[in-house]
Every structure is written in structure tokens, then in C-alpha cells.
Amino acid sequence: MEIAKKILKVKVNGRPYELLIKPKTTLLQLLRNDFGLTGAKQACMDNSCGACTVIVDQMAVKACSVLALQVNGREVTTVEGLASRDGKLHPLQQAFLDHHAFQCGFCTPGKLMSAKAMLDEKPHPNEEEIRRDMEGNLCRCTGYTQYIDAIKAVAQKKEGSK
């Protein structure tokens, strides 16, 4: 059957876009295929791994399980939108670098976006809160410890700098 494409108006990493897409397009497919933003990754088929985590209107969501048309009129931030355009890393990216918080890096964009959403909402979480809020991001390489340390470092730094 011939399915009508629908118009999607969405802001991605601060810029507005308008495009025609098939309704079945997920937000992950939109970002990876239509925008070429391949930071968000697919590592599972059951909404479990979190490697596709991006931010929609300040909320961390798994892009594989959100229909692209549902972000109509909303703002999407991906890992490609974290650093400044002139090459300055976001504090979380810097902390991940300093703390060796990644190895293969496949889950890392998702982790960064989960962490950003968490710290934007709650700037000084304790370790237990960090671990709980990062439950949705699976990692096989790091054993989690170093990136928990990285997030802690950013959380504490925000506290320190008044």
C-alpha cells in the first residue's frame, strides 16, 4: 500500500528543519539516516540497551522507541550537539576523556546524553542516584566504574564552582 509521507518540523542540535518522512520512521532512523548523525547507535531490538539515547526537550529518551513524528515541534539534542562548534568539549565530554570513561565507545554517546539530561535536571546527584539513573545505559567494556567517576566529577565540580 502507498503510505503518505508526513511533514516533520523539528529542531535538531539547535537548528530548525522540515522534512517529509514515512510514518514508520523512528527517531533513531531519522537521526542516523536522514541527518547522518550516527552518534546514537542501535545495539538491540528490545528497547533495553540505551545506546540510542538522545535528548528530546530536556528529557533523555531512547530514539529507537520513539516515532520520529512524535517529536514534531520539539527539540532534539544529540551527542553531536554537545561540543561547541569551535571545538570546545562539553564538561561531560571532558570528564569522560579525563576519567577514561569509555573503551569501544559504542555506548558512549547514549551515556553522555543520559548523563547530560540527569545533570541538567539534578546538578548534584550522589553516587547511588547516578548509578540508578544510568541503569538504562548498558555497557560491556568498562564495567561502568570509570564513567560513574566522570559524572561524579562533573556533579561535584558544579557544586564547587559558585
Partner 1 sequence: MTEYSVVGKPLPRVDGIAKLTGQAKYTTDLVLPNMVYAKLLRSPHPHAKIVNIDISKAEKLPGVEAVITGKDTWGIRYGFVDTPTYPAEERPLAEDKVRFVGEAVAAVAAVDPDIAEDALDLIEVEYDPLPAVFDPEEAMKDGAPQIHGEITRTTSCAWEDWGVARKSHSYTPVNNVAGRVLISYGDIEKGFAEADHVREDRFWSPATSHMAMEPHTIVANYDPFTGKLDVWLNHMAYELKRYWLHKTLGIPIQKIRVHQTYIGGAFGGKAVIFDFEVLAGFLSRKVGRPVKIELTREEVFSSCRNSIRFDTTVKTGVKKDGTIVAQQVKVIVDAGAYKGSAAVAMFLSHQFSESCYNRRNVRHEGVAVYTNKNFGFAKRGHGAPQNRFAVDSQIDMICEDLGLDPVEVVLKNLRKKGDVLPNGDKLESYGLPKCVRLAADAIDWKQKRGKQRDKNRGVGIGINGMFSGSGYWPFACAAIVRLNHDGTVTLMEGDCEFGQGADTTYSQIAAEEIGLPLEDVNLISGDSELCPMNYSNFLSGGMFVGGGAVWYAAHDLRQRILKVGSELLKVKMEDLDMKNRSVFIKAKPEKSLTFGEILRYNVQKHLGDPLIGVGYKKAVPEIEFYPSLSKGTGRFTDAYGLAAATAEVEVDRETGRVKVLKICIADDCGYEINPASIYGQMVSQAVMGMGDALLEEVIDEGGRVINPNLVDYEIPRAFDVPEIVVLNGCDYEPKGPFGAKEAGECARAAVIPAIANAIYDAVGVRVHRVPITPEKLLNALKAKGGRR
Partner 2 sequence: MKDFEYFPAKTVEEACSLISQHREEGKILAGGQSLITLLRQKLISPFYLIDIKGISDLDFIKFDEKKGLRMGALTTHRAIEKSPLIQEKYNVLSEMEKSVASVQTRNWGTIGGNLCSADPIGDPAPSLIALNAKLKIVSSRGERMIPLEEFFTDYFTTILEPDEILTEIQLPPLVARTGVVYMKFSTIEAGIKIVSTSISMILDSDKVTCRDARIVMSAVAPVPFNARKAGELLIGKKINDDLIAEAAQLASEETNPTSDVHASVEFRREIAKVLVRRAIKEAFEKAKKA
Residue 161, C-alpha cell as written in the block = 564552582
Nearer to partner 2 among residue 117 and residue 148 (C-beta): 117
Residue of 70, 126, 145, 156 interacting with partner 2 (CB under 8 A):
70
Q: Does 42 bind partner 1 (CB under 8 A)?
A: yes
Contacts with partner 2 by CB under 8 A: the residue count is 33
Window 106 to 125, contacts with partner 2 (CB under 8 A): 114, 117-118
The residues binding partner 2 (CB under 8 A) are: 1, 3-4, 6, 22-24, 26, 45-47, 50, 53, 56, 59-62, 64-67, 69-70, 72, 114, 117-118, 132-133, 135-137
